[in-house]
Amino acid sequence: MPALDAALAAEVERWIARDPDHETRAELDALVAQGAGAELRGRFSGRLRFGTAGLRGEMAAGPARMNRLVVLESAAGIARYLLSHVLGARDCGVVVAHDARHRSAQFATDVARALSGHGIRVVRAARPIPTPAAVYAIRNQGCVAGIVITASHNPPADNGLKLYLGDGAQIIPPVDGEVADAITAVASDGELLPRPARAAEVGPLPPEAIDAYVSATLGRAPRVSGSIGISTTAMHGVGGELLERILGEAGFDRVSPVEAQRVPHPEFPTVSFPNPEEPGATDLLAQTMIETGSKIGLALDPDADRLAVLVARDERPPHRLTGDDVGALLGDWLLAEVTQGPDRLVVSSVVSSTLLPKVAEHHGARHVETLTGFKWLCRPAMENPSLTQVLAYEEALGYAVGPEVRDKDGISAALVAATMAAALHQEGRSLLDALDALHLRHGAHVTENFSVPDDAPGGAERCDTIVSRLVDDPPSELAGHELRRADLPAADVLRLDLGDSLRVAVRSSGTEPKLKCYCEAIEPVEGGVVAARQRARERLSRVREALSKLIVS
From 537, 545, 296, 277, select the one nearest 415 (Cα to Cα): 296
| Contact (Cβ atoms closer than 8 angstroms) between residue 467 and residue 492 | yes
Which is it for the CA torsion 164, 167, 170, 171, positive or negative?
Answer: negative
**Taking the CA atoms of the chain, what radius of gyration do you get in angstroms?**
24
Q: How is residue 260 annotated by DSSP?
A: G
DSSP SS3 for 237: coil
Q: Where are the beta strands (DSSP E) in 289-375?
A: 296-300, 307-313, 316-320, 344-349, 366-370
10 Å CB burial of residue 413 (0-12, 13-18, 19+) is buried
Residues paired with residue 151 on neighbouring β-strands, in sequence order = none
* Sheet strand arrangement including 158-165: 54-58, 158-165, 145-149, 94-98, 122-124, 202-204
Q: Where are the beta strands (DSSP E) in 172-274?
A: 202-204, 230-233, 255-257
Q: How many CB atoms lie within 10 A of CB 490?
A: 15
Phi and psi of 344, rounded to 5°? -80, 145
* Sheet strand arrangement including 388-394: 366-370, 344-349, 388-394, 398-401
**Residue 93 vs residues 2, 86, 87, 147, 211: alpha-carbon distances, Å:** 50, 11, 11, 11, 20
Residues whose CB falls within 8 Å of the CB of residue 311, separated by 6 or more in sequence, listed in order: 295, 296, 297, 318, 319, 321, 421, 430, 431, 432
The active-site residue, picked from 152, 231, 348, 508, is 152
**Residue 487 vs residues 471, 476, 478, 497, 514: alpha-carbon distances, Å:** 9, 13, 16, 8, 21
Which is it for the CA torsion 16, 19, 23, 27, positive or negative?
Answer: negative
Alpha carbon distance 406, 395 (integer Å): 17
152 is known as an active-site residue: yes
Query: Which amino acid is residue 103, in one-letter code?
Result: R
| Residue 379 half-sphere exposure toward CB, CA atoms < 13 A | 15
Greatest CA separation for the chain: 76
Q: How is residue 200 annotated by DSSP?
A: P
CA 107 and chain centroid, separation: 20
From 387, 390, 385, select the one nearest 405 (Cα to Cα): 390
- Residues with a known catalytic role: 152
